[in-house]
A and B are shown apart, each in its own frame.
Chain A
């Protein structure tokens, strides 16, 4: 009986830090992908590739993505699966919104790079959603 109790404790002690670290790294990597996207879009605006109206669409979406990211990080830290799924769905929704409404504001020859950056962030979010039963 004592052995049965000890096994999960050893599992938690042995694997726990690595598992939590994985969840933490995923949140960090998603934020890096969104930051890279934000910097590239700003560069396009600064060089006149995207006009002010088009840039505004992107800026508003980045504010929403930031809120979602902060809430996602908090939910991951708390181990709250339901909140994690809610935030991921919201995040994917905003990225899909950008594909529909932000991409057309960019000249066609520059769209591929931006799509790759969006998909990079999106695929990380989908992986977390799958892990939490929300895919």
Chain B
């Protein structure tokens, strides 16, 4: 299987279980793993917001 398909498959499964798994991990003492994922998503959120803020800034 080409790498791109493997990555796509991983994303598919990851996305499907995300809503269930994060609270599950926290409630079963795997808070560190859940926190790591949430932190990565938070970084992405910050980046997306920064892109919008810069674009709306007349001085940028």
A67 within 8 A of partner (CB)? yes
Inter-subunit contact B18/A131 (CB<8 Å): no
- B11 touches which one: A13, A22, A28, A63 (CB < 8 A)? A22
Q: How many residues of B contact A (CB 8 A)?
A: 42
Inter-subunit contact A60/B37 (CB<8 Å): no
Interface range on chain A (Cβ under 8 Å from partner): 35 or more
Q: Which secondary structure characterizes the binding site on chain A?
A: helix
Cα–Cα, bound, A22→B60 (Å): 32
Inter-subunit contact B36/A17 (CB<8 Å): yes
Within B5-53, which residues are at the interface with A (CB < 8 Å)? Answer: 5, 7-22, 24-25, 28, 30, 33-34, 36-37, 40-41, 43-45, 47-53
B55 within 8 A of partner (CB)? yes
Known: A24-B40, A66-B52. A84 touches B15 (CB 8 A): yes
A-chain residues with CB within 8 Å of residue B44 when the two chains form the complex: 24, 27-28, 30-31, 69, 73
Interface set of B (CB-CB < 8 Å, partner A): 4-5, 7-22, 24-25, 28, 30, 33-34, 36-37, 40-41, 43-45, 47-56, 60
Interface set of A (CB-CB < 8 Å, partner B): 12-13, 15-28, 30-32, 34-35, 38, 42, 59-60, 62-63, 65-67, 69-70, 73, 76-81, 84, 127-128, 130-132
